[in-house]
Amino acid sequence: MMAANLKPTESELEILQILWEKGNCTVRDVHEILEKNKDAGYTTTLKLMQIMHEKGLVTRDTSAKTHIYHALVNQEKTQQHLVDKMIDNVFNGSAARLVMQALGNHTASKDEIDSIKKYLDELSNK
């Protein structure tokens, strides 16, 4: 099964977020970051990362005693895939409904609203 066709679990996405931000990490590095936000056992983090390796979501360098993990899946492509699935499954294919729901539930800063307006203007001019 190719990684591009996989839907990472919520826990796998948390680990991928860390690897996308930090780059190469050991299990200990990832575990210490996860532990700041939730009660996560080291062996659980290790097992998740081993499963992610088997699924093709991450690669690991085993040349040293401590294995170094790196995300194999692209952050933008993964985000786009998940958003596409959400639009199809939750919002009946309507990107507008997703955007209105997101903006209605979360307070956007003035800079974020300006960026959204600029993006919409660019889309309108295409």
Q: What is the pLDDT of residues 44-97, one digit of tens each?
A: 999 999 999 999 999 999 998 999 999 999 999 999 988 998 999 999 999 888
Q: Residue 19: CB partners within 8 Å, gap ≥ 6?
A: 25, 30, 58, 69, 70, 71
Q: Is the pLDDT of residue 1 over 50?
A: no
User: From the CB of residue 34, how many other CB atoms can be counted at a distance below 10 Å?
Assistant: 21
Rounded percentage of the chain residues whose pLDDT exceeds 70? 95
**pLDDT beyond 60 at 3:** no
Going by C-beta distance under 8 Å and a sequence separation of 6 or more, which residues neighbour residue 98? 83, 86, 87, 90, 91
pLDDT at 70: 97
What is the pLDDT confidence band of residue 5, given thresholds at 50, 70 and 90? low
Q: Look over the chain and give the mean of its residue pLDDT values, rounded to a whole number.
A: 90
Whole-number pLDDT of residue 6:
66
**Is pLDDT larger for residue 125 or for residue 29?**
29
Residue 95: what residue type? A
DSSP-derived letter for residue 38 is S
Average pLDDT, integer, range 89-111: 87
- In which residue are the tokens 């960026």 written? 115
